[in-house]
Amino acid sequence: MSRITLEDLDPLGEEAAAGGEEEEEEGEEEEEERSRLFAHWEAVASTHRVSLPRDMAGPIVQMTRHSQAREPVPYVTLAQHEKCEEAAYEERQYPSGKWACVTKGEPMYEQSISMSFMKLMRYICKENSVGCYLGMTVPVLNEIHLTKEGTKLEREVVTAYYLPRVFQQNPPVPTDPEIHITERAPLRVITRVFYGMTTEETILREISLFWKLLGSTDTVLRETYIIASYENPSIPQRRNEVWFICRAE
């Protein structure tokens, strides 16, 4: 039997040390990425008058890493109107489906949607009955209501996340009691794109512009609208749509 000397063990010790250093460097890089992303989202949250809890660091990293794999909410295009880019809009039919919904009534619209989306991010990332990342779908919907005068938004906003196709039949149960899984009925809408941050001011302006574009019509609701967001709040010029809801025939 050959003998193993101390000299033979030295290279093994060096390899183990090198491996340990690599793991430590990877851990440091991951922590740096985590801190950088958190700081960025924290700055965005402050513009919405919302404080970002430290426990959001994990969901932020996870959703950033999966940002390219986003499943679109299914729909059928019924008609397109493209007189020019500024006047373009589309009619769509969305099927029934299961959505995870949060309702908030904070003093500002931005506060309501930010707080609701943070809850949904936790649900999507791990705080659910299957304990894993569910996958992101787009758009996230924010259902709003205008006051009787039509000059302001009602405080209550419903933020809704469409369950990915694989979970539609058996949605994971949220651990947060404020998140409700809802079966939403089929929806016919007329949509128009706009870009940037969504505030009460910008939403009211977009609704007014869309009404001028459509002209007088009784085919859509006048009190309830949907703001659809396709990118996360940390993107300055994110894509949004305003949806006018068609009346049931």
What average pLDDT score do residues 80-100 get? 87
Please give the Cα distance from 124 to 163 (Å, whole number): 9
| Residue 18 resides in a domain | no
| Residue 209 resides in a domain | yes
- The sign of the dihedral angle between the CA atoms of 167, 168, 173, 177 is positive
| Residue 56 resides in a domain | no
Q: 83 by DSSP, 3-state: which?
A: coil
pLDDT in tens, 104-162: 999 999 999 999 999 999 999 989 999 999 999 999 999 999 998 888 999 999 999 99
| Residue 116 resides in a domain | yes
Count of the separate structural domains present in the chain: 1
| Residue 136 resides in a domain | yes
pLDDT in tens, 7-54: 554 555 555 555 555 556 666 777 787 788 778 777 777 777 787 778
Please give the Cα distance from 40 to 58 (Å, whole number): 14
| Residue 159 resides in a domain | yes
CATH number of the CATH domain containing 239: 3.20.80.10
Where b means 16+ CB within 10 Å and e means fewer, 15-24 reads eeeeeeeeee
Please give the Cα distance from 160 to 173 (Å, whole number): 15
| Residue 19 resides in a domain | no
Contact 171, 163 (CB under 8 A): yes
Range of the domain at 77: 66-246
